[in-house]
Chain A
């Protein structure tokens, strides 16, 4: 593959164009620090975006068109009422299937809060009936009215209705994560542009000398571009390493921790931060080249 001339020249070490730019100056550490800080932030924005992506997927999967009916009744009427609700559901359009959870399933649901030895049979717990929605779905308001008429202790818990906004919120959070990454990239480009402009102004003598001896604008620009790109790459590598270390130090994801402890990378997701330094280098390359060529056009 043939690289564009500007990029090919960047990798041409034989010319050492960047040697003509003095190595010191406040723009040197400013560029490196900016790239490091922005990449560090970018790692966390990336982690947030990937984590919310996973969360949105998980919640979306959970929206399997299920609902729960919670039935409270005196113990002697529990079986009768349960049969009545199941019969009602069997004749309700839009309900694909329905079944009552047995005591073991109920104990499993309550175990995280009350421990494994909960005497389910001795407690006045409501009976849980799980229903699976068909296609098209059922009329939830109509079902509530029928339940109120035929089994007054039955309450329809339509959890798809509250999980959907949560899944949407997670999707938007993921979008915000990507937007943050884009803003961080744009900010880095802006700061590197300012640093490059300051460097070009500070090195007016260098530019005068180079022009006097016949250097083309592209050569002068390349000198600054190479210097700033290498600085940005160095800073971004340090920032990415620090960001990855920070993510590694976060608590491990577990069921009790929920979303916050799941903030991190999983599997191939750990490779994403490795793309950030080259990306930062590309941003610095484009920003410096644009700034340098524009500044050189301004200088007569």
Chain B
């Protein structure tokens, strides 16, 4: 076995019984023997793990291994075909459509192919999570947020005019404006150069230091190594439909 990809344990945690109430405070999202099947065989199988509050995870694996599916299960875009996924103490099958909407307000999501409302300027797009809940954003807070992600000078720009890195940072700003508990990033550095990758990583690390739970799906091992120098990140690897905790020698 390649020591660089040594598997620390077969699975993080295996729960044969339903999660007990008294244990639910120590996680924000939990998978319990969860599986997902798109119709042609299981893509993910027997996934059991808990994402602790304030933790930082990298999720790696080859293309098509199920990283995006895992993230979609985590924010209730998909319902597991077997097992259970619990988000903020609620099993996703028990969530109504409105419950799912409310849950997503506590989870910021950043995709590689991030999408915006192209007819609205950047500020309106970043404020959108507040707008849909009937809240108004504070002008100074918004300016600070855009400045934090380095987009203060593009406040009035329309999304199609933004570069790949700018779009990713805008998506990050949109993801954090609701002060979510969890941030899920799916290949956030996939379309940007190394300098921009480091900049995005720095922003994610800062968010983690604020207490946010961060999960970053990526196959960029250099980025993971860089992150581990800054934060106590754990690395999850998807292999053979299962999620395993990868070794510390990445």
Contact = CB atoms under 8 A, between A and B. Distances in A.
A216 interface: yes
B115 interface: yes
A245 B212 CA distance: 64
B74 to A, nearest CB: 13
Interface string B89-123: 00000000110011111000100000111111000
B98 A216 contact: yes
B128 interface: yes
A211 B120 contact: no
Contacts of B174: 213
A214 B104 contact: yes
A213 B131 CA distance: 10
A209 B128 contact: yes
B248 interface: no
A182 B32 CA distance: 56
Contact of B133 (A214, A217, A297): A214
B134 interface: yes
B132 A210 contact: yes
Contacts of A297: 97
A209 B116 contact: yes
B135 to A, nearest CB: 10
A22 B160 CA distance: 14
24 contacts: A14-B134, A20-B120, A20-B128, A22-B118, A22-B119, A206-B117, A209-B128, A210-B132, A211-B104, A213-B105, A213-B128, A213-B132, A214-B102, A214-B103, A214-B105, A214-B178, A215-B132, A216-B97, A216-B98, A216-B101, A216-B102, A217-B97, A217-B101, A218-B98
A23 interface: yes
Interface in A217-258: 217-219
B80 interface: no
A159 interface: no
Contacts of B109: 212
* Contact count band on B: 20 to 34
Nearest to B135: A15
B129 interface: yes
B142 interface: no
Contacts of B101: 211, 214-217
Name, among A206, A210, A213, A218, the residue most crowded by chain B CB atoms within 10 Å (CB to CB).
A213
A14 to B, nearest CB: 8
Contacts of A211: 101, 104
Interface string A160-203: 00000000000000000000000000000000000000000000
A24 to B, nearest CB: 8
Contacts of A217: 97-98, 101
A182 B127 CA distance: 43
Contacts of B129: 213-214
Nearest to B79: A300
* Contact count band on A: 20 to 34
A7 to B, nearest CB: 16
Nearest to A15: B134
A16 interface: yes
A66 to B, nearest CB: 70
B186 to A, nearest CB: 11
Given A15-B134, A217-B98, A212 B104 contact: yes
Given A206-B117, A211-B101, A217-B97, A19 B133 contact: no
A20 B104 contact: no
A165 B77 CA distance: 67
Nearest to B116: A209
A219 B120 contact: no
> Closest 4 CB pairs between A and B?
A214-B105, A215-B132, A214-B104, A213-B129
Contacts of B134: 14-15
A205 interface: yes
A113 B124 CA distance: 76
A74 B14 CA distance: 121
Contacts of B118: 22
Contact of A213 (B104, B120, B124): B104
A220 to B, nearest CB: 8
A20 B117 contact: yes
A208 interface: yes
B79 to A, nearest CB: 9
Given A19-B120, A22-B119, A212-B104, A219 B132 contact: yes
Contacts of A214: 101-105, 129, 132-133, 178
A145 B131 CA distance: 88
A210 B97 CA distance: 13
A217 B101 CA distance: 8
A30 to B, nearest CB: 19
Interface in B120-152: 120, 124, 128-129, 131-134
